[in-house]
Amino acid sequence: MSIVAVGSIALDTIKTPFGQADDVVGGSLTYFAVAASYFTDVNLVAVVGQDFNEQHMQIFAGRRIDLQGLEHARGKTFRWGGEYSYNLNSRETLFTDLNVFERFQPVLPDSYREADIVFLGNMHPSLQLSVLDQVTSKRIVGMDSMNLWIETTSKELRDVLKRANILKLDDAEARQL
């Protein structure tokens, strides 16, 4: 059994009361894929830019993550900056630069299309629906979303929710939905 996981890989700038880290590999897909790889094979579908180098790729090395679906595009990788409060439970987005992710149209390799489990990372609901339409035999669909999609694409988001079994939101997003 394997998981097809589609979503964002980012380079993050993180500020906390304890310090700052720049160009940290982030994105909901990254964290999901690394965690899931401890339990099963993960077939990853995402896009990164030319600034995503070999050092950044090391997060996937030696793990049960197939990178056949990772696209390397011209341009910069998706970047996000956030500042976390002292309790690290709440955050403020400082900037979001979609870069190559803005043009991302996920296409699953043929070998990924018969997945039993699908994880839809945080991305536009129309892309999530496109992924679901490409998978022929899904038993479990998990998804991530965020306040932006709840506010701006409510109808499409609800269409994805109808086809999902598991939803991941933080407490503020859950109240907003």
Residue identified by tokens 């990164």 is 48
User: Average pLDDT over the chain, rounded to whole?
Assistant: 94
Residue-number span of the structural domain to which 28 is assigned = 2-176
Positive or negative, the CA dihedral 139, 137, 163, 44 is: positive
Q: What integer pLDDT is reported at residue 105 of this predicted model?
A: 97
Q: Which SS3 state, helix, strand or coil, does residue 81 take?
A: strand
Q: What integer pLDDT is reported at residue 141 of this predicted model?
A: 97
Whether the CB-CB separation of 159 and 130 falls below 8 Å is answered with no
- Percent of the chain residues topping a pLDDT of 90: 82
- In this predicted structure, the answer to whether residue 138 has a pLDDT above a threshold of 90 is no
CATH number for 106: 3.40.1190.20
End-to-end CA distance of the chain: give it in Å, rounded. Answer: 32
* pLDDT, tens digit (0-9, with 9 covering 90-100), for 25-72: 999 899 999 999 999 999 999 999 999 999 999 999 999 999 999 999
For the chain, the domain total comes to: 1
Integer Cα distance of 64 and 70 in angstroms: 14
Q: What integer pLDDT is reported at residue 62 of this predicted model?
A: 96
Q: What integer pLDDT is reported at residue 87 of this predicted model?
A: 86
- In this predicted structure, the answer to whether residue 137 has a pLDDT above a threshold of 90 is no
pTM of the model: 0.91
